[in-house]
Amino acid sequence: MRVFKSAAVLAASIALLTTGFAAEAGAQAACPAGKICLYTGANSTGRMATFTWGSPDLRGQGVDRAIWVVSNHPRGMCLYPGYNYTGWPSSVGETVARGFQVSPTSSVKPCTG
């Protein structure tokens, strides 16, 4: 009986890992080439908006306080906690292989320098 429970737990763990990798691949595929995609929920859930040049106020796109990012953008982008590019930004490099969680973001634009 114990062997069957261990096998079931192992199978469930493998299924969860496989699903996680598939979700990451799906998020990357859902973000068009040349864009950065911001999501209101973790793991590419919630509302999504795509950007080429950014936005000074993410309320206009319905993704204010976005917490998840996927980047297929050819250059680095800066994510700001405040509107109009205020506060200390987080940077996202070119074409991130998978999505990741960021601090709540209220504006985004290409990084300079």
Total tally of structural domains belonging to the chain: 1
pTM: predicted TM-score of the whole model, two decimal places: 0.72
Render 49-65 in DSSP notation, one character per residue: EEESS-BS-GGGGT-TT
Contact 62, 47 (CB under 8 A): yes
Q: What is the pLDDT of residue 18?
A: 31
Q: What is the pLDDT of residue 16?
A: 35
Q: What is the pLDDT of residue 97?
A: 57
Give the mean pLDDT per block of 10 residues along the chain (113 residues).
48 38 49 93 95 96 96 90 97 78 95 79
Residue range(s) defining the domain that contains residue 37: 2-110
Residue 12: which CATH number?
Answer: 2.60.20.10
